[in-house]
Amino acid sequence: MVNSEVELEVKLDAKLEVKNLRFKYNGFELLASLEVKKGEILTLLGPNGSGKTTMLKCIYGILKPKAPCIYIDGEDLHSMSLKNRAKKIGYVPQIHHPSFPYTVLEFVVMGRASQIQVFDSPGEEDYKMAMDALKLVGIVDLADKPYTQISGGQLQLALIARALVQNPEVILFDEPTAHLDFKNKIKISNIIRKITLSKKTATILTLHDPNLAGMYSDKIALIKGGRIYSAGKPEEVLNEKVLGDVYEMRVRVVDVDSFKLIIPDPTY
């Protein structure tokens, strides 16, 4: 376990709240209220341009809504210093542009930046945490490899490991499966679930695949035109009516061995 002491301090009812988020961009208004508990996965699902990623960026504070609206355990996230925010919330970006060929370990340990004074460098403890995070995501054997020379799936895992060493209470994933193949999608999703359960993080994802969302989410919010069209447990919202409305196409939900498979209707 990574730093069990810090984890004990986390309140049992820790949660992330989005209260009346209101953000205008490109002549388009985003409105949302959400809640994610510790150890829970919430997925934002919706078509391209619906505002999922913008919502994620507003929650993180990369984009700043005018009024305070994001709370972690009742504490206003956007009024925190960057340092304190990074201790509470981790963000796994969809795309990363590498600069210099750092080793995977050096790259992951950068997640400790918020806890390391400016005149200081990471110590043994920090490197140990980075190694533990690499073990958790399953790429510890790549620790000494330049992170510019690993595959896209492995880079995604390294990004997740970097967010993990921040010891966050909330982790945001921006389309974590976007550039991955069939197998790696499942692999990454399993790791996200593992992290959420073992680290008791409040996890928010944006996804494009409703089946994947159905398999891994505790809650799903369907987004359309910057609004939450419908939100709830997967079985409540992933039905033909709601999905059809959100994606503006005909969708069929088929039972396959008690699993609800969502398939688009190509004739539509």
Partner 1 sequence: MKRKIILSFFLLFPIFAFLLSLCIGVYKIPLLAIIKIIVVKTIETATFGKLSFDLNPYPTVYQTVLLQIRLPRIIAAMLVGSALAISGAVLQATFRNPLVDSYIVGISAGAAFGAALAIGFFPASVELMAFIFAMIAMTLTYSLAKIKGRVTVISLILAGIIINAFFSALTSMLKFLMEHEKLAAVVYWLMGSFNGADWNVVSRIAIPIILGSLAIFLMRWHLNVLSMGEEAQILGIDVGKMRLIYISIVSFITAISVAHCGIIGWVGLIMPHIVRMAFGPDHKTLIPLSIAIGAGFMVLADDVARALTTFEIPIGIVTTLLGIPFFVYLLRKTGGEW
Q: What residues make contact with partner 1 under the rule CB under 8 A?
A: 60, 62, 82-87, 90-91, 93, 96-97, 99-103, 106, 110-111, 113-114, 116, 118-122, 146, 162, 166
Helix, strand and coil content of the chain, in percent to the nearest 5, comes to 40, 25, 35
Q: How far is the CB of 109 from partner 1 (least distance, A)?
A: 9
CB 104 within 8 A of CB 134: yes
- Residue 67 or 95: the one with the smaller Cβ distance to partner 1 is 95
Q: Taking Cα atoms as reference points, which of 187, 109, 204 lies closest to residue 152?
A: 187
- Residue 34 or 56: the one with the smaller Cβ distance to partner 1 is 56
Q: Taking Cα atoms as reference points, which of 42, 31, 32 lies closest to residue 234?
A: 42
The amino acid at residue 53 is: T
Helix H or strand E encompassing 210: helix 210-216
Give the largest CA-CA distance in the chain: 63
Q: Which residues contact 125 (CB under 8 A, 6 or more apart)?
A: none
Q: How far is the CB of 118 from partner 1 (least distance, A)?
A: 5
- Residue 113 or 215: the one with the smaller Cβ distance to partner 1 is 113
- Residue 114 or 211: the one with the smaller Cβ distance to partner 1 is 114
Q: How far is the CB of 256 from partner 1 (least distance, A)?
A: 39
**Alpha carbons 24 and 3: distance in angstroms, whole number:** 40
The DSSP letter of residue 146 is B
Q: How far is the CB of 167 from partner 1 (least distance, A)?
A: 12
- Residue 22 or 87: the one with the smaller Cβ distance to partner 1 is 87
Burial class (CB in 10 A: 0-12, 13-18, 19+), 246: buried
Q: How far is the CB of 100 from partner 1 (least distance, A)?
A: 4
Q: How far is the CB of 69 from partner 1 (least distance, A)?
A: 19
- Residue 158 or 222: the one with the smaller Cβ distance to partner 1 is 158
